[in-house]
A and B are shown apart, each in its own frame.
Chain A
Amino acid sequence: MIDILFIGLSLGSILLLVSLGLAITYGSMGVINMAHGEMVMLGAYTTVLCGKWLGANLFVAIPIAFLVTAAIGFAIERVVVRRLYGRLLDTLLATWGIAILLQQAVRLEFGLSFFGIHVDGLGPGLQNVAVPTLLQGTVAVGAVALNSYRSFVILVTLVTTLATWIILNRSPVGMQVRAIIRNPHMAAACGIDVKRINSLTFAFGSGLAGIAGVMMSGFKSIFPDMGTPIAVDGFLVVVAGGLGSLSGTVMSAGMLGEINGLIATATNDTIARAVVFGVVILIILLKPKGLFSFKGR
Chain B
Amino acid sequence: MLRLAHVDSFYGRSHVLHDVSLDVPAREVTVIVGRNGTGKTTLLKSLMGLTDKLTGQIAFEGREIADQPTFRRARAGMAYVPQGREIIADFTIRENILLGGFASPGSSRAIPPLVGVLFPYLMENLDRPGGVLSGGQQQQLAIARALAANPKVMLLDEPNEGIQPSIVEEIEKVITRLNREFGLTIVLVEQNISFARAVAHRFAMMEKGRIAVSGPIDALSDDLVHRHMAI
A-side residues, CB < 8 A to B, are 172, 175-176, 178-179, 182-183, 185-195, 295
Contact = CB atoms under 8 A, between A and B. Distances in A.
Given A186-B82, A189-B70, 16 more contacts: A172-B109, A176-B102, A179-B91, A179-B99, A182-B90, A188-B69, A188-B74, A189-B74, A189-B82, A190-B71, A190-B74, A190-B99, A191-B71, A191-B75, A192-B71, A195-B69
Interface string B56-86: 0000000000000111001100001010001
B83 to A, nearest CB: 12
Contacts of A182: 88, 90-91
23 contacts: A172-B102, A172-B109, A175-B95, A175-B99, A178-B91, A179-B99, A182-B88, A183-B86, A187-B99, A189-B50, A189-B71, A189-B74, A190-B100, A190-B103, A190-B145, A190-B149, A191-B75, A191-B100, A191-B105, A192-B99, A192-B102, A193-B71, A295-B90
A175 B96 CA distance: 10
B98 interface: yes
Interface residues of B, number: 26
A175 B70 CA distance: 18
| Residue of A176, A190, A195, A295 ringed by the most chain B CB atoms within 10 A | A190
A193 B149 CA distance: 14
A171 to B, nearest CB: 11
Contacts of A188: 49-50, 69-71, 74
Contacts, number: 61
A186 B95 contact: no
Contacts of A185: 50, 70, 86
Nearest to B78: A189
Interface string B31-57: 000000000000000001110000000
Interface of B: 48-50, 69-71, 74-75, 80, 82, 86, 88, 90-91, 95, 98-105, 109, 145, 149
A176 B74 CA distance: 15
Contacts of A179: 88, 91, 99
For the residues of A in contact with B, the DSSP-based class is helix
A189 to B, nearest CB: 4
| Residue of A172, A185, A188, A193 ringed by the most chain B CB atoms within 10 A | A188
Nearest to B50: A185
A182 B91 CA distance: 10
Contact of A186 (B86, B98, B105): B86
A267 B100 CA distance: 56
Contacts of A187: 99
Contacts of A190: 71, 74, 99-100, 102-103, 145, 149
